Amino acid sequence: MFALCREHGLDVYPQYDQGDTVFHLDGMNSRYRRYPKIGLLGLASLGLAFWRLDRMAKRMPIAEPWKTSGARELDAQTLGAWIGSRWNVPSTAAQRLLRTTMSLLFSVDPDEVSLLGSFVLGYSEQGFEYYVDSTITETHLVDGGVPELALRLGARLGPALHLSSPVRSIKQSNAGVEVFSDRLTIEARRVIVATPPFLAGRIEYDPPLPESRTQLVRRMVSGAIIRGITIYDEPFWRYDGLSGMSVAPGSPVPVAIDQSPRSGSPGILSS
């Protein structure tokens, strides 16, 4: 993304993260930096859960996850069930916080995520905590918004880019492929299907794809997440020593962050 932004003349800038985070739980607000105030048991449970998940993820052969020891059992268990076990996460508050975190990372309820599949995300050197601790990593925003990059990429393709032309079927032969949409037919040597798995499963293929592949793409759960943008004249939270980030497990708005422009005005909260 950094390279694409440079190539297309777009600047990036660090997301504002100075100040405290607001934590809302059971009707009460508190402020924290790095770790929420969920008690010693909650913090210990959270740290132990991350350690256990990271430890299991590191044992997975990333190129061949199905060869992980106990892969069948791990794949049959969901991430949500693992988090909900008192043996793994003794604290209720830590469980709620973990579920919120993982729901955002996967854009789907953890009960829909295979425990084995989740390890791919935690395989990095920093582990799962990398995605939730702002002191480990720094988030950047695109000056002008990420959609501007998509528009510039599309403009570069020119007439080769066809919008409002959903692909209905793909026919393959020894000579190459034919791609049929509502508006046109394209002939090529190869085709790359880069749509979400569920939509890819609705395309008709000739010859048909292997049945196991068809069943896989049709059963994969699509992400379900809505983003809301709230705009204020000024980022008033900064004047109160707040970062603009809030965490509220179980709330309709579980997380909000400061996504104000580089100038700081207007103030924008993304949730």
Which pLDDT value is given to residue 235? Answer: 94
Which pLDDT value is given to residue 190? Answer: 93
Mean pLDDT across 5-33: 89
Per-domain residue ranges for the chain?
A: 35-131, 224-270
Which pLDDT value is given to residue 125? Answer: 59
- Which pTM does this prediction carry? 0.73
Which pLDDT value is given to residue 132? Answer: 60
**Cβ(180)–Cβ(167) under 8 Å?**
yes
At the fourth CATH level, which superfamily is domain 35-131? Answer: Guanine Nucleotide Dissociation Inhibitor, domain 1 (1.10.405.10)
Rounded Cα distance between 62 and 255, Å, is 30
pLDDT tens-digit readout, 122-138: 776 566 766 666 555 56
* Res. 46 pLDDT band, cuts 50 70 90: confident
Q: What is the mean pLDDT of the chain?
A: 87
pLDDT tens-digit readout, 62-119: 888 888 899 899 999 999 999 999 889 999 988 988 888 888 888 888 898 889 988 8
pLDDT tens-digit readout, 217-241: 877 777 777 888 999 999 999 999 9
2 to each of 8, 10, 14, 140, how far by Cα in Å? 10, 9, 12, 9
Mean pLDDT across 137-154: 87
The answer for residues whose C-beta is within 8 angstroms of residue 117's C-beta and 6 or more apart is 65, 75
